[in-house]
Structure formats: structure tokens, C-alpha cells
Amino acid sequence: MKIVSVVGARPQFVKAATVTRVLAQTPDAREVLVHTGQHYDANMSQVFFDDLNIPYPDYNLEVGSGRHGEQTAAMLRGIEQVLVNEQPDWLLIYGDTNSTLAAALAACKLHIPVAHVEAGLRSFNRKMPEEINRIASDRISRLCFAPTQTAYDQLQKEGLGQTAVLTGDVMYDSVLFYVEKLEHEPDSYRLPDTPERYYLATVHRPQNTDSREALFSIFEAFAQLPHPVVLPLHPRTKKYIEQYGITPRNVHIIEPIGYLWMLRLLLDCQKALTDSGGLQKEAYLVGKPCVTLRTETEWIETLHDGWNEVVSCDKEKIVSAALAPAPSAPRRNAFGDGRAAHAIVEAIYLTKSLAEG
């Protein structure tokens, strides 16, 4: 069976790594990996391929940055050509980026069945480009792999029950695999000059970066915290900090870093402060409290018992959530059994064999 997988942005490299590993061990499977080039800086892209042992992509479309329509259109054109050349049995897509949507559209017009990893997630905020990408990709997909029961139920509510499969979360597979690796290598992937006690933050969502008021408020909150804030700085945020003339205080800025470096920083931090979906979940999975710098979250399981608090960009709320004591209740396991990638590959094979009768 030939599968074309499309990735393009950081969170997709992490998700694809787990499935790629399982496909590589499946005798009859041949995976063709396409990188759209949405993320192209070495520390936003290559470092993930190196750290996670992802094979070199068979195609790199080198699409780069641009307005949403421009970027998605360039991907659509490039992916369509790859699919015409390769004639795969399935297209595999991940998450909710413009690369996800472009691939789904290209494949469905060529009648190639689409399998969507991390389906059924909803923020119910249609101003987020990711929300539109999720809804459209789920509609198009023949198989929607739900990471959680909530996502599975959402697919049912939207009339997509026939396509929904509850697999667990590939990011949980990944956390289990790599936390064990880090435990065996206690001195690896440690950044020099990291403060002893710190908060770990990431900020990159347009609702936070593209408004001077919002970004200013977040940095004002960081300035008031009792420990420094380690901030791997996304290029979009860097651009706006400079443009707005913000001078970060109590913030230890570093370049964007690879997955294992980030996981180590997370394991050693006091709390995570973030507007990323992935980091909210990773914090929960490794048992670090999280403060979410957004007005809603798709990952509602992380909210149980106070492990994640959604506070927006409001300065007072960020400070008060960051200072709150860590929750004492144990976390619940809502993200599967660590074998989501296996379940995904099995479901694709089963669907193919059922279709062939």
C-alpha cells in the first residue's frame, strides 16, 4: 500500500514521526513524505527531522510564508502534482494547518481517500484559521482519527460518525517514547544558561501577536512573575515585538528549539504559559500545570481539576493563574494508551481491505 503523508509546520513533524515509525515497520507499506515548506527555518523544521529521526522528505515544495490564500494555493498546486505522479492508495494529513487543508483538497478532487490524524477538535472560534482548516479537513476525510472521546463525540454530532475512529493521541505516543529517552540521557538536550526555576512560555497565535495591546499585556504579566520566563521566540512574535517597540522584562529569550530540547525544558519548568494547542497537551501529559493565553481551548480534557487554566491575554489573570498552587488531584488519562499510531495504521489497512471486499 502506498501512502502519501503531507507535513509542513512544526506540530505536524512531531505527530507524523510516530506514524512514520510504525509505517516503516509495516512490511507492505510504502510512505512518500511531502514537506510543503510552510516552516523552512532550520530551527523550525530540520531540527525536528534530525531529533525525531524522520526520513528526509521525498518532496519539498518550498512554499514558504505568505497570506493564507497565497500560501494555501501554492501548496494545493504542488501537492496535486505529487499526487498525480505518485497515485497513492491514501493521503495522510495531520492537525489543522494550511498544509493540512491544502493536501485534503488536492486529494479529494483526485478521488484519493484522505485519513486525518487529530480529527474532531474544535475551538468553536471561526476566526482562527486552524478552526476552518479542521472543519473542512474533517468533512473531506474518509477516515477521521479522533485523539479523545470528546473529539470522537464531536464528529458524531456533525454527522461524521461513519468516518470516525477513536485512536488515542499520537502526541501521547510521542511523549511516552521521548520522556523515556530523556530519562536515560539525563545530561542531553539541556540548554546552557537556563535559570534554575522558570516558567516556560510560547506565544505565536495571531490573536496575541497581531494586536499591540494583547502582546503588551502578555509581556507586562511576564514582567511581574516571581521567576524568569524562558521563551523560545517564534519568528512572527519576534517581528511584532520589534514593530511595537516592546522591551521584554524578566524574560529569557531563546531561538525556536527542537522537540527534545523543548520536552526537557517542559519537564524542568514550574508551569507552562502558552497559546499553543500542542504545548497545553504536552504539559498535561508530563504533569506540569498550564496557563493558556487564549479565550478557549480545543483540549478541554486538560482543564480537569485545574491542570490547565484558560485566561486570555489579560495581565491580572495571567499573573494570578501563574501564582496559583499546582493542582493536587491526579490527572485523568484521556489520550489513549500510547499506541495511537498503531491504531491509525491498522484502521487504514482494515478500511482498504473492506473496500476491496
**Residues carrying an active site annotation:** 204
φ, ψ for residue 281, nearest 5 deg:
-70, -40
Q: Which of 5, 20, 98, 154 forms a contact with ligand UD1 (CB under 6 A)?
A: 98
Cross-strand pairs, 2: 30
Q: Note whether 40 binds ligand UD1 by CB under 6 A.
A: yes
Residue at grid coordinates 532550520: 42
Binding mask 112-131 for ligand UD1 (x = CB under 6 A): -----------------xx-
The answer to whether residues 286 and 308 touch, using CB atoms and an 8 Å cutoff, is no
Closest by CA position to 270, among listed 237, 226, 313: 226
Minimum Å gap between C-beta 67 and ligand UD1 is 9
Q: Which is nearer to ligand UD1, 203 or 321 (CB)?
A: 203
Contacts of 128 (CB under 8 A, 6+ apart): 205, 207
The answer to whether residues 298 and 205 touch, using CB atoms and an 8 Å cutoff, is no
Minimum Å gap between C-beta 49 and ligand UD1 is 13
Let me know how long the chain is: 357
Q: Which of 35, 39, 122, 271 forms a contact with ligand UD1 (CB under 6 A)?
A: 39
Q: Note whether 38 binds ligand UD1 by CB under 6 A.
A: yes
State which of positions 171-230 bind ligand UD1 (CB under 6 A): 204
Q: What is the number of alpha carbons within 13 Å of residue 75 lying toward its C-beta?
A: 30
Q: Note whether 9 binds ligand UD1 by CB under 6 A.
A: yes
Q: Note whether 44 binds ligand UD1 by CB under 6 A.
A: yes
Region from 8-16, 115-123, 164-172, 247-255 binding ligand UD1, contact rule CB under 6 A: 8-16
- CA-to-CA distance for 210 and 293, rounded, in angstroms? 14
**Where on the chain is the footprint of ligand UD1 (CB under 6 A)?**
9-11, 38-41, 44, 65, 96-98, 129-130, 204, 235-236
